[in-house]
Amino acid sequence: MSSKLIKVKKYILENDIPELDLPTEYSDSSIDTTRSEKKIKSSWYRFLEVFNWYPAHYSKFERYHIFKLDIAVTLFCGLSFFTKYLDQMNLTNAYVAGYIQTGAYHSLNGRNGLTGWRWQFIIDGLITAVVVIYGITLFPGSPNFVKKFGILTQDDLVFARKRLKENHIKQSKSWDKSTIKKIIWSWEFILLPFLWILHHQVGYSPAFSVWLKAEKYSVSQRNNLPTATSAISCISMLVTPALCDIYGKWLVSGVIFILTYFYVIVLLVWDVSKNLKFTAFYLSGLWSGLAPAFYAWAAIICKDSAEKKVIILALMNSYSSATLAWTVPIQWNTKYSPKFTIGWSITIGYVAITQLLFIVIWFLARKEHKSDLTFDDKSSISSTDSDSNSIREGSHTDFEKNGNLVTVKVLD
């Protein structure tokens, strides 16, 4: 290791990360970020709000700010996941679900001496390269380390930093030995990555495509029919986190667990009608909705320490990918296809352990963070406002407001 790298490592471990001289006030004095009062609506209206990404009670500036974040961050993350999914499916299946792969297989098979599956990898690589360029151009990074970037103006970044501060999101300070030791000995360090690993163990299976091949479906059908499962997965990933915000993780996750038990049991029994098999495989897409819900939950649980959040979120991704690399071939050994009795037996065990671990983490987070409520004169104490990230999920506590004792209960 060079002397320069040693110095950098020593500096990071022994010193605070220097803060940049960033503006704290808006350059445009006319900017108003005040939210209007949010009226209490019916449960049905609250459900419809799942699809309202830019609530009317937000200020005009905040709505436009969120729109730009959707372009610079959300869309990039979605495209990144899409390319990861294509690459992963190409690696784990000889026939890949997806219209892109179907087109490549039929129109490019044999072109320039390359088979269709080779063209699939080339096309996926080109798509990934475009997404990388998109990210380099627009993805802003941490608000505390940039003044402006891409489509985000200096005032956008000022507003982002204010939101982080108001919602008590800790920023990185130092990486000393005591910080690392504290992270390693925390329950989050063990349980949150384990939850993520178990979730992914349930979610990845080549069984649908293998069964379609055994039933003599064409290559196109084997590529296209599973896209319905992918569509359900996308919808579930989009809707589930919002539903958790409105109705609570306990209820929403419970429904998904029940439906997951149902589809796994159907496929474990196996000797059922073809229509029921299709229903089971399509229902499997609902499980994907727990991924963004769990990931966001982990970020919220770890928001008291930026260092902890960085390490744990990184471990969640790396551990799950490393685990899937060797467990999938064992769990879904093709010599047991297309029934995969062992695979589905293991899957139902994974679902049960995931649910148990979810309950344990829920109670630990509730216990540890139940008093972590901070209010000031500008804070909203409405329990119906699902956007109040300053309130820890799954908590209730007493606090004094203008000399009066008030009890606040927050949905899980």
What's residue 101's pLDDT? Answer: 63
- For residue 50, what are the contacts with CB-CB under 8 A and spacing of at least 6? 239, 242, 243, 246
What's residue 145's pLDDT? Answer: 80
Beta bridge partners of 405: 400
What's residue 22's pLDDT? Answer: 85
C-alpha closest to that of 296 among 238, 381, 348, 353: 238
Residue with tokens 């060797």: 326
- For residue 112, what are the contacts with CB-CB under 8 A and spacing of at least 6? none
What's residue 6's pLDDT? Answer: 56
- Output DSSP code: residue 272: S
The rounded distance, in Å, linking the Cα atoms of 291 and 237 is: 7
**Span between the terminal Cα atoms of the chain, in Å:** 47
Domain ranges of the chain: 55-166, 175-369, 371-412
CATH architecture designation of domain 175-369: Up-down Bundle (1.20)
Residue 308's Cα: distance from chain center in Å? 17
What's residue 98's pLDDT? Answer: 61
Give pLDDT tens digits along the chain (412 positions): 555 455 445 544 454 445 567 888 999 989 999 988 877 677 777 777 777 888 888 999 999 999 999 999 888 988 887 787 777 666 655 444 766 666 666 777 778 888 777 887 888 889 899 999 999 998 887 888 888 888 999 999 999 999 888 877 777 776 788 888 999 999 999 999 999 999 999 988 889 989 998 999 987 788 789 889 988 998 999 889 888 888 889 999 999 999 999 999 999 999 999 999 999 999 999 999 999 999 999 998 988 888 899 999 999 989 988 898 899 889 999 899 999 999 999 999 999 999 999 999 999 998 876 433 332 333 333 333 333 333 233 333 333 333 333 333 434 4
Give the angle subtended at the CA of 24 by the CAs of 18 and 27, to the nearest 5°: 135
What's residue 392's pLDDT? Answer: 32
What's residue 129's pLDDT? Answer: 93
Give the containing element (helix H, strand E) for 407: strand 404-409
The rounded distance, in Å, linking the Cα atoms of 321 and 200 is: 9
Assign residue 216 a region (left: φ > 0; alpha: ψ between -120 and 50; beta: otherwise).
left
pTM of the predicted structure, to 2 decimals: 0.74
- My answer on whether omega of the bond before 338 falls inside 30° of 0, hence cis, is yes
Beta bridge partners of 399: 406
Residue 24's Cα: distance from chain center in Å? 30
What's residue 93's pLDDT? Answer: 54
The rounded distance, in Å, linking the Cα atoms of 302 and 124 is: 34
